[in-house]
Amino acid sequence: MHKRTIEDLQLSNKRVIIRADFNVPLDDSLQVADDTRIRSTLPTINRAIDEGAKVILCSHLGRPKGRFDPKLSLAPVAKRLQRWLGKDVLFAPDCVGPSVEKLVARMKPGDVLLLENLRFHPGEEKNDDEFSKALASLGDVYINDAFGAAHRAHASIVGIPKFIKESAAGYLLKKEIEYLEGAVENPIRPFVAILGGAKVSGKIGVIENLGKKVDKVIIGGGMAFTFIKAMGLEIGNSLVENDMLDFAKGVQEHAFSRGVKFYLPVDCVVAASREPGAETKIVPVQEIPKDWYALDIGPASVKLFTEAIQNAKTILWNGPMGVFEMDAFARGTMAIAHAVANAYALTIVGGGDTALAVHRAGESENMSFISTGGGAALELLEGKALPGLVALPDRNS
């Protein structure tokens, strides 16, 4: 990576602001339900502690819309972080202002302070200069380790670097960029992209960018039925984007013209309604009943996709194969998770729902890399520049 990283900086005795992505799910009792994102930033935090920095952590949580909301406090994160670090984590009642400045002034080398939710201030999402300056004034060095928010032009992502002397990427941000950019720019072939999820429109850029680079494309999930309808087949009440039919047809034709192997489901699990417990059956895609909903890929599709994956050397997977949140329609996604995990390949999972599905399939440990950022991963795979990365200085500057 050509950006300056944490390894390029001296952190001893400096106040180091680390922008982390602690946007974690909380359960009904407001405890951390999944701490993957917290654990992902530990290498960066530990490096700063080991070097004797005064570590100031900041993050957003949820969408409080610029107002204080006790249900979206980062206090539970401070508690979980304390357990992982094995040391006290101070928690600030705000992220800027005199009370925070006093806490920072009292910090000793090796201390860790977590600021309250950045999005309790409207200045965060507005990328307000005054708010950025107030945050930057708390530190001497800024480390961005929040890949999941790197596609946002917010104060804590692009504002702080304008007003602080030194900035760099943390270990997680560096790892995410290297895996995702590396897979696309310089893959070991055969390179297979598995794309799922609900809509074609949400993945246009990814389909266009990856279409030029892959050897095989596998399409599943709700978006597959836009492609299937574009071929003139009946899809019943299945999810479809009628304004995307021409685009879908063009993508397929473009793939064929380039010699890219293009796979769509050959069968699917259909249900009489989307209600839990509705009648289901497995049908070929040519025989989807008129008023039924296709909600998962079927066993023949699983076999086809698994065979397509087998000789891959690089696999990039973004988007589930069906409505995997419901057990009746989870089999396709789980089967693909096992197939990807068993492939003798570099396997990259593109965050969000796909990461959750892989976790549910018990295959997280068997993937080469699971991205922590859904939206940011998508934008990177589209070939877009991430604002959080652009804001950091290059290594030679």
Please indicate, yes or no, whether residues 222 and 273 belong to a single structural domain of this protein: yes
Q: What is the mean pLDDT of residues 151-180?
A: 96
Provide the number of structural domains found in the chain.
Answer: 2
The DSSP result for 139-154, as a single string, is: -SEEEE--GGGTTS--
* Given the residues 79, 126, 162, 199, the one annotated as active site: 199
Q: Could you confirm whether 375 is annotated as catalytic? A: yes
Which of residues 124 and 181 earns the better pLDDT score?
124
- Tell me: pLDDT of 245 over 90: yes
Q: Could you confirm whether 196 is annotated as catalytic? A: no
Please indicate, yes or no, whether residues 243 and 139 belong to a single structural domain of this protein: no
Q: Could you tell me if residue 392 is inside a domain? A: no
Please indicate, yes or no, whether residues 88 and 226 belong to a single structural domain of this protein: no
Q: Could you tell me if residue 388 is inside a domain? A: no
* Given the residues 222, 236, 352, 388, the one annotated as active site: 352
* Given the residues 3, 4, 19, 37, the one annotated as active site: 37
| % the chain with pLDDT above 70 | 100
Q: Which domain holds residue 312?
A: 187-381
Question: What six digits make up the tokens of 160?
Answer: 């702080």
Please indicate, yes or no, whether residues 195 and 343 belong to a single structural domain of this protein: yes
pTM > 0.85: yes
- Tell me: pLDDT of 314 over 90: yes
Q: What is the mean pLDDT of the chain?
A: 95
Q: Could you confirm whether 199 is annotated as catalytic? A: yes
Please indicate, yes or no, whether residues 150 and 201 belong to a single structural domain of this protein: no
- Tell me: pLDDT of 350 over 80: yes
Q: Could you tell me if residue 396 is inside a domain? A: no
C-alpha to C-alpha distance for 134 and 131, rounded to whole angstroms = 5
Q: What is the mean pLDDT of residues 48-73?
A: 97
* Given the residues 62, 110, 202, 375, the one annotated as active site: 375
Please indicate, yes or no, whether residues 108 and 198 belong to a single structural domain of this protein: no
CATH of the domain at 26: 3.40.50.1260
Please indicate, yes or no, whether residues 240 and 326 belong to a single structural domain of this protein: yes
Please indicate, yes or no, whether residues 215 and 96 belong to a single structural domain of this protein: no
Q: In what side-by-side order are the strands of the sheet with 112-114? A: 90-91, 112-114, 54-58, 15-19, 141-144, 166-169
Apex 24 CA angle, 21 and 26, nearest 5: 155
Give the pLDDT of residue 382: 87
Give the pLDDT of residue 397: 62
C-alpha to C-alpha distance for 121 and 69, rounded to whole angstroms = 11
Q: Of all residues in the chain, what percent are helix, strand and coil, respectively (each to 5)? A: 45, 15, 40
Please indicate, yes or no, whether residues 197 and 138 belong to a single structural domain of this protein: no
Give the confidence band of 352 by pLDDT, cuts at 50, 70, 90: confident
Q: Could you confirm whether 352 is annotated as catalytic? A: yes
- Tell me: pLDDT of 16 over 70: yes
Please indicate, yes or no, whether residues 168 and 136 belong to a single structural domain of this protein: yes
